Each structure stands twice: as C-alpha cells, then as structure tokens.
Structure 1
Amino acid sequence: MKKITYNRFGGTEVLQLTDAPMPAGEIIVKVKAVSINPLDWKLWQGDMKLMSGRKFPKSVGIDFAGVVEQGSGKYSKGDEVFGLVSMFKGGALAEYIAVKAEDIAHKPGTITFEEAASLPVVGSAALQIFHDLLQIRPGMHVLINGAGGGMGPLAIQLAKMAGAIVTAVVGPAALDMASRLGSDVVLNYQRDNVLTGGTTYDVAIDLSGKLTYKIARTILKKNGVYVNTSPGPKEMIGSLFSGGRYKLLLLKPSVAYLEKLAAAGLQVFISKRYDFYDYKRAYDEVKKGGIPGKAVFVIT
C-alpha cells in the first residue's frame, strides 16, 4: 500500500510517497479521506520535536474517515467510520491504517467521508471549548477571532446553539460563510478593527494565534474570559495568574467527543479537495492560508 512519510524535518520537500506493508492491528480501515491540519506541518517541520521525538521515518495525517476492512468488537467489515490517530505520530495519510476501537466512531450516514474526516481534530477542540472550558448563557457576547479557518465554522455553530451573540472576525474569503452560519456581526480583519468597534465581550476566543490575552483584555467585560487555542509554555504560566479569566485549550481527543460530533448535526465547510498523490501542492497551498473552512485529501 501507499503512504506519505518523511525521514528528516523540513518543508514539503521532505514528504515522500512510499510503499509500505499492510498494517496489522485490532481494526484495519481503508481510508477514504484525510483532513489537513496545521499540526501536520508543525510536526514535519520539526516544530514539535519535544512531543514527536526524533526517530524516523515518521508518518503524516491525523484525522480520517473510511471503511472497516478488518473489524473487531462493535466494528464489522464494511462499517463506515471516522476518527483520528495519535496526534504526534500521525499516519492517517495512507491507503490503509490500523486503529483501536477508542480511536474511531461510526460515521453518520448524513455526511460524506470528506466531511467526517474534517471533524475529529477541530470538532473535538470546539466541543472542548464550549462544553468544558466555557459556560455560555443566552445573550452573552462571544468574539471568535480567526473564525474562517477549520475550527471557526464549528465554533460559530456551537456558540449560536448556546444562544450567544456572535462576532466573527474572518478574512475576505470567509465573510459569506460566517454570515450563513448565523454570526450576528462579521468583521473583515483586513478592513475592520475589532478593538475600536466599541463592543465589549463576555468571551473572546482566539483561533488565529494573533489576539493575545493582553490585547483581548481591552475589549473584555469585567469578568470576561479569554480562550487561547494554541498555547505555548509561556502562555501556560501566564494563565495561572489570571483569576480564571485566561483559559487554555489543551486538546484531549476521545471517542466521547467523536460520538457527540456524530450526533451534533454540525455543518462542515470544505473549500478544497486534493488527490492523495497531490500532497505537496496541497500542503503548500493550505499553509499559505486564505482557504475558508477545511481542506481534505480524497483517497480512492
């Protein structure tokens, strides 16, 4: 079978299509779609060496959807499933993968393989924010900065389901998407400055990595809460002295989140679909940004 691997850290030039033996494991899945995540290139660029280690070869891809080829327990041959592999080891970008039962859930029949593959990482993160970190009450003002990316559309929907008044800050390509999802206010970051609009917020969620807690405090209400979705060690220390106003997303995927996602009926927005063999162009384009929603590999 074919899979994408790399033998050293670097840019897309280190990625290569390789022949590999069929995987052995509890459950074998024939992969139909794989989502593209920023964590993919953070790993093969070497930005996450501390978590991923330095042993090669390494594999690419985290969340996927496909059909069970070899079943076990409640999963039988032919079942349609979605899930994710180890976030720091990767390996989903392959024709077949071995997984455990706790890595997957049954794919809803109402969504495609591409849509299902787009949910596990960003969907689990969005659920963790709105179900675990925050308590959103109807009428609260929620700012979602960087809402045009992979997690943003799901965050908008979950905030609206909770009755929030949502301000979404997005790039030009995502303006229509944010409006159609029900955002009450949509700001184009290239034209509008959320800091000078005069609105204060109960919650500010930064999905862009650019709105710091120090800056966000200027537009938060007295007891407003800030959520950092990509914290580093410095941010982890800083959050300890915020009196609970600075929340960190430390993603912990679980089958429980997958099952909630399967039942939530969230809309998934996919802007780009790439062939499995077009992996270098895919990553080069997605890394540049400006693609609203998700991008996925389709494996036939």
Structure 2
Amino acid sequence: MKKITYNRFGGTDVLQLTEAPMPAGEIIVKVKAVSINPLDWKLWQGEMKLMSGRTFPKSVGIDFAGIVEQGNGKFRTGDEVFGIASIFKGGALAEYVAVKASDLTHKPKAITFEEAASLPVAGLAALQIFDKLLNIQPGMQVLINGAGGGIGPFAIQLAKKAGAIVTAVAGPAALELVTKLGSDVVINYQQQNVLTSGKRFDAIIDLAGTMTYKTAKPILTKKGIYVNTSPGPKEMIGSLFSGGRYKLLMLKPLAASLEKLASAGLQVTISKRYDFRDYKKAYDEVKRGGIVGKAVFVVS
C-alpha cells in the first residue's frame, strides 16, 4: 500500500510517498479521507520530538474516515467509521490504517467521509475545551481568537449551545462563516484589535497562537480563564503559576468523546480538498494560512 512517511525532521521536503506493507492491528480501515491539522507539521518539523521521539521512519496523518476492512467486535467489515490514529505517531495518511476500537466510532450516515475525517482532532479539541476546561454558563462572554480555522467553527457552535455570548476574531475570508454560525460580535483582526476594545471576557480561547496569556490577561474578568490550544514546554510551565486561570488543551481521544462528537450535529466546513498524492502542495498551502474551516486529503 501507499503511505506518506519521513526519515528526518524538516519541512515538506522530508515527506515522501512510500510503498509499505499492510498494517497489522486490532482493526484495519481502508482510508477514504484524512484531515489536515497544524499538529501534522509540528510533528514532522520536530517541534514535538519530546512526545513523538526520534526513531524513524515516522508516519503522517492523525484523523481519518473510511471503511472497515478487517473488523473486530462492534466494528464489522464494511462499516463506515471515523477516528484517530496515534496522536504523536500518525499513520492515517495511507491507503490503510490499523487502529484500536477505542479510537473509532461509526460515521453518521448524514455526513460525508471528508466531513467525518474533519471532526476528530478539531472537534474533540472543541469538545474538551468546553467539557473539561471551561464551565460556561448562559450569558458568559467568550472570546474565540482564530475563530475561522479548524477548531474555531466547532468552538463557536458549542459556545452558542452553552448559551455564551461569542466574540469571534477572524480574518476577512472567514467573517461570513463565523457570522453564519451565530457569533454575536465578529472582529476582523486586520481592522480592529480586540485587546483595545475595552471589553472583558469570562473566557478567552486562543486558537491562532497570536494571543498569549500575558497579553490576554488585561481583558479577562477577575475569574476569567484563558485557554491555550497548542502548548509547548514553556507554556506548560507557565500555566502552573496562573492560579488556575491559564489552562492548556492536551487532547485525549476517548471512545465516549468520539461517540458524543458523532451525535453532536456539528456543522463541518471544508474549503479545500486535495488528492493525498499532492501532500507537499497541500501542506505548503495550508501552512501559509487563510484556509477557512478544514482542509482534507481524499485518499480513495
């Protein structure tokens, strides 16, 4: 089978399409679509080597959707599923992937494989922000910085379901989407700086990586909470001295969470689709930014 791998850390030049043996594992899935996430390039650029290790070759691709080729228990051959390959080892960007039953759930019939593949990493991140890190009550003011990217549209929907008043900060291309999803206040970051708006927030979720806890703190309410969704070692240390007001998202894929995600009825926005053989072009374009919602690989 064909699979994307890399033998050293670096840019897209280290990625290569290789011929690999069929994977062995509890469940084998014929991959139909794979989502593109910033975590992908953080791994192959070596930014996460403390978690991923330094042993090569390594694989690419985390969340996927497909059809069960070899089943076990609740997942039978022919079932349409979606789920997560190993967070730090990848492996989904291939014609077939081996996964544990705990990392899968059945794909809702109402959504496509591309939409299902877009859900796990970004959707679970949004779910865990609201289920584990924030206790949002109706009427609370929530700021979502980077609301038009992969996680943002899901975060807007979950915040609105919780009754929050949502301020969405996004680029020009995403303003229509974040408005359509129900944001109460929409800010074009190219024209307005939310830090000088005079408004305070009960929760600030930084999805863009452009608003640190230090810069966000002046616009937090007295008990307001800041959430960092892409923490490194420095951020992990800094959060320890915030009195619980600086929280880090550490994605933990669980079967129950995937099932909840499957039934949440979240709208999925996909603005770019790529053949998986165009992996270098895809990653170069998505890394440059400006993609509204999700981008996905169509594998077969």
Of residues 12-21 and 163-172 in structure 1, the stretch that sits farther from structure 2 once superposed is 12-21
User: How far did 1:237 drift?
Assistant: 2.3
User: How far did 1:67 drift?
Assistant: 0.2
- Equivalent residue number for residue 264 of structure 1: 264
Q: TM-score, normalised by structure 2?
A: 0.98
- Alpha-carbon distance between aligned partners in 2 of 1:250 and 1:70, rounded to the nearest angstrom: 31
- Alpha-carbon distance between aligned partners in 1 of 2:233 and 2:19, rounded to the nearest angstrom: 38
- Alpha-carbon distance between aligned partners in 1 of 2:126 and 2:195, rounded to the nearest angstrom: 24
User: How far did 1:235 drift?
Assistant: 2.0
Code of the aligned partner of 2:146: G
User: How far did 1:210 drift?
Assistant: 1.3
- Equivalent residue number for residue 216 of structure 1: 216
Secondary structure at 1:227's aligned position in 2?
strand
Of residues 270-279 and 45-54 in structure 1, the stretch that sits farther from structure 2 once superposed is 45-54
- Alpha-carbon distance between aligned partners in 2 of 1:242 and 1:17, rounded to the nearest angstrom: 44
User: How far did 1:232 drift?
Assistant: 2.1
- Alpha-carbon distance between aligned partners in 1 of 2:3 and 2:223, rounded to the nearest angstrom: 49
Q: Does 1:206 align with 2:206?
A: yes
- Alpha-carbon distance between aligned partners in 1 of 2:297 and 2:231, rounded to the nearest angstrom: 28
User: How far did 1:251 drift?
Assistant: 1.3
Q: Does 1:289 align with 2:298?
A: no
- Alpha-carbon distance between aligned partners in 2 of 1:14 and 1:221, rounded to the nearest angstrom: 45
User: How far did 1:264 drift?
Assistant: 0.2
- Equivalent residue number for residue 50 of structure 1: 50
Give ranges in structure 1 of 5+ residues lacking alignment: none
Secondary structure at 1:242's aligned position in 2?
coil
Of residues 92-101 and 49-58 in structure 1, the stretch that sits farther from structure 2 once superposed is 49-58
Code of the aligned partner of 2:159: A
Secondary structure at 2:186's aligned position in 1?
strand
User: How far did 1:260 drift?
Assistant: 0.6
Q: TM-score, normalised by structure 1?
A: 0.98
- Equivalent residue number for residue 81 of structure 1: 81
Secondary structure at 2:263's aligned position in 1?
helix
Code of the aligned partner of 2:100: K
Q: Does 1:237 align with 2:237?
A: yes
User: How far did 1:8 drift?
Assistant: 1.4
- Alpha-carbon distance between aligned partners in 2 of 1:246 and 1:57, rounded to the nearest angstrom: 36
The 5 A counterparts of 1:29-48 are 29-48=29-48
- Equivalent residue number for residue 5 of structure 1: 5
User: How far did 1:49 drift?
Assistant: 1.4
The 5 A counterparts of 1:173-188 are 173-188=173-188
User: How far did 1:103 drift?
Assistant: 1.1
Give ranges in structure 2 of 5+ residues lacking alignment: none
Code of the aligned partner of 1:134: L
RMSD: 0.9
User: How far did 1:241 drift?
Assistant: 2.2
Deviations 1:112-144 (A, max 9, x none): 100110111111111111011111011111000
Code of the aligned partner of 1:217: K
Secondary structure at 1:137's aligned position in 2?
coil
User: How far did 1:24 drift?
Assistant: 1.7
- Equivalent residue number for residue 155 of structure 1: 155
User: How far did 1:284 drift?
Assistant: 0.5
User: How far did 1:11 drift?
Assistant: 1.0
- Alpha-carbon distance between aligned partners in 2 of 1:79 and 1:285, rounded to the nearest angstrom: 33
- Alpha-carbon distance between aligned partners in 1 of 2:291 and 2:120, rounded to the nearest angstrom: 19
Code of the aligned partner of 2:115: E
Code of the aligned partner of 2:157: Q
Percentage of identical aligned residues: 79
Deviations 1:270-294 (A, max 9, x none): 1100011111100010000010100
Secondary structure at 1:264's aligned position in 2?
coil
- Alpha-carbon distance between aligned partners in 2 of 1:283 and 1:86, rounded to the nearest angstrom: 19
Q: Does 1:91 align with 2:102?
A: no
- Equivalent residue number for residue 170 of structure 2: 170
Q: Does 1:143 align with 2:169?
A: no
- Alpha-carbon distance between aligned partners in 2 of 1:81 and 1:57, rounded to the nearest angstrom: 27
Deviations 1:228-257 (A, max 9, x none): 111222222222222221111111111111
User: How far did 1:148 drift?
Assistant: 1.1
> Number of residues paired by the alignment?
300
User: How far did 1:217 drift?
Assistant: 1.2
Q: Does 1:132 align with 2:132?
A: yes
- Alpha-carbon distance between aligned partners in 2 of 1:102 and 1:53, rounded to the nearest angstrom: 23
- Alpha-carbon distance between aligned partners in 2 of 1:241 and 1:58, rounded to the nearest angstrom: 35
Deviations 1:169-202 (A, max 9, x none): 0011110010000000110111111012121111
User: How far did 1:108 drift?
Assistant: 0.6
- Alpha-carbon distance between aligned partners in 2 of 1:257 and 1:81, rounded to the nearest angstrom: 14
